[in-house]
Amino acid sequence: MKKRIYPILIALALAGTTSCDKDMLELTPLDKYSDAAVWQDPALVETFVNNIYLGIPSPFHTIMLANLVDEAHFNADWETGNMTKSQITPSYLGVFDDGFWVSHQRYMTWNGTYKNIRACNLFLEKIETVPFNSQAEKDRLIGEVTFLRAYFYHRLASLYGGVPIITNTYTLTDDFTAPRNTYEELITFISQELDKAAELLPASGDKARATKGAALALKSRVLLYAASDLHNSNASWAGGYAHPELVGYTSGDQQAQWQAAKAAAKAVMDLNMYSLFGEANPTSADAATANYANIFLNNGNSEDIFLQFNDNLRNSNWDAPNPGLFTGPNGWHNWGESAPIGQLVDSYEMSDGTKFDWSNPAHKANPYENRDPRFYASILYEGALWRPRPADVIGSDPLGIVQVGSYTRPDGTVIPGLDTRKGPIEDWNGSYTGYYLRKFIDPKVDHQYIKQTLPFRRFRYAEILLNYAEACINLGEYEEALTYINQIRARSGMPPVTETGEALMERYRNERYIELAYEEHRFFDVRRWMIAPQAYEDAEGVNVTGKLNAEGSIISRTFAPIVIQDREWNPRFYFLPIELDEMNRNDKLVQNPLY
């Protein structure tokens, strides 16, 4: 379970020299492996495959994506603000730009993803020459690379719609131009590839590598996305776009697509290898909070389908496996970067299943009491008891209480909280929203530069149950959907939902928002559901004020929602544009709508 994939970089280069000395020409390079050497050594081939896994975006990039939708706000901006205003063009992709100074999302977009696809294609072209000791070893690696190529094409489909399906490597004399395949062709290709992968992959084993369950889980996600409204709208949102086949289906039956999505999720469930982690029916709110928090604080559990162990070598601290460094409070010497926004926080229901509402006087007076237990496992808020402060700070706060407000002393002076942008510990990197992320953060790691060793969950069983439930709702099978939505709610100590029809879909969407927060789903969910205009309303936070007694303790607090960032939705942001350079290189490409 703890086996990890590390980036052993392989230079597949042919030896060469300008010398006329025959002996020099025959020397084997000492600093790299030759192409011939790699494809004659099974161990080197496996290392090559390990390196392909690194094309999967790191958890840092996943958390960054939360800032581009109604989950989070990035306090350093890094051009995320332009993204939340839909200010992208074929010449400007902001944080999606491969050339951006830290290239946050380069593992997700066109150039970076096709580089990984090329590596997969090269492997599949060369694999038959490799002298493996067993057919099982060979089949496993073929299955893994087939899965990875499908994963990368799924990335492209989610961001761009239909893209060129390239299954071979090019030589310098080849024609590099290729038209985009239709969205339907791409989804069919991905699904077929995942069926092949599932046949070749083992049912169990190291979950940091692809297994049968991982391949089927990816197919579930692919078909769920494909069945959704965005891809069945005939691009009606695009103002007469001439090529709707590139961004969705233009014929066929959406109900049949939901049936396929349901079957794909059921195939994972029928493996009988996964289950929700923790107590099915916790006996207290605290136990329910621990249920949810602990999903992410171990090296493997029954809910995991596909894990991603962070590598410490790829990008130094930018990919450090310590999410607290980026999301934790600055009063603990963290950077507070991807802070939850008010829309996410307010979406956590009250513990009785009713909605939280700032216009309710009781809710406004005590906004963080009696909420969904997942709230306490996911969000750090004013007054929350967290871990002890670092040694140089603990004297200012022996208990470890989050302080994001401003407080009035008995003499009338006002002081900022320890975890604000004006605080006495670090005064440059606090949250603008009044919240910090707790989810994923190992409370045992008490220093910003000590790296967590816990894996990130790329696929977990709760997603599969939600995928299945969503397909059932769209098929009108409400009782079946409720069964699985309520299993997840019961694990979290929440009462069952009972609605049907559109009301059930609304509850489901909120459930998915909360359960899968910061796990790279929301960015795509609001697009495929076509609710982005609501999701891109101005980002909110909270303003907290309080009073101090003579001993310095906070004796009262008031809370008020505030707007912390202007946001705007333009429907062109349903998809990314193909970069202008790529369009200029390949005159067979057609640009996405509204760019």
In degrees, rounded to 5, the angle at the alpha carbon of residue 350 between the alpha carbons of residues 349 and 352 is 115
Q: Is 327 helix (H, G, I), strand (E, B) or coil?
A: helix
Please give the angle made by the CA atoms of 485, 486 and 492, to the nearest 5 degrees: 105
Residue ranges for the chain with pLDDT beneath 50: 1-21, 24, 100-104, 312-321
**Residue ranges covered by each domain of the chain:** 61-252+572-585, 285-404+415-457
Do residues 197 and 143 lie in contact, with contact meaning Cβ atoms separated by under 8 Å? yes
Of the candidates 572, 530, 525, the residue with the CA atom closest to the CA atom of residue 86: 572
Residues contacting residue 121 through CB under 8 Å, at least 6 positions apart: 149, 166, 167, 168, 169
* Residue 548, helix vs strand vs coil: strand
Domain spanning 61-252+572-585: which CATH class is it, in words?
mainly alpha
DSSP assignment letter at 356: P
- Torsion sign across C-alpha atoms 247, 253, 259, 264: negative
Q: Other C-beta atoms within 10 Å of 101: how many? A: 8
Distances (CA, A) of 149 to 116, 167, 213, 446: 8, 9, 16, 38
What's the confidence (pLDDT) of residue 64?
A: 87
- HSE of 413, CA atoms in CB hemisphere, 13 A: 5
Compute the distance between CA of residue 126 and CA of residue 240 in angstroms, rounded to an integer.
45
Q: What is the pLDDT of residue 138?
A: 98
Print the SS3 string covering 420-484.
CCCCCCCCCCCCCCCCEECCCCCCCCCCCCCCCCCCEEEEEHHHHHHHHHHHHHHCCCHHHHHHH
Q: Given this model, what pLDDT does residue 62 score?
A: 82
DSSP structural state of residue 92: B
Write down the residue that tokens 């004659």 correspond to.
Answer: 40
What's the rounded Cα separation, in Å, for the pair 101 and 83? 16
Name the token pair of 290.
């621990």
pLDDT at 1: 43
Q: Where are the alpha helices (DSSP H) in 127-164?
A: 135-160
Q: Residue 93 has which token pair?
A: 């992709």
Instruction: Measure CA 284 to chain center.
Output: 30
Is 467 within 8 Å of 261 (Cβ atoms)? yes
Tokens of 581: 């350079």
Q: d(Cα 156, Cα 145) in Å, to the nearest integer?
A: 17
- In this predicted structure, what is the pLDDT of residue 518? 96
Which residue matches tokens 């906070």? Answer: 554
Could you please report the per-residue DSSP string of 205-248?
S-TTS--HHHHHHHHHHHHHHHHSGGGGSTTGGGSS-S-GGGTS
Query: pLDDT tens for residues 172-208?
Result: 999 999 999 999 999 999 999 999 999 999 999 999 9
Strand, coil or helix: 30? coil
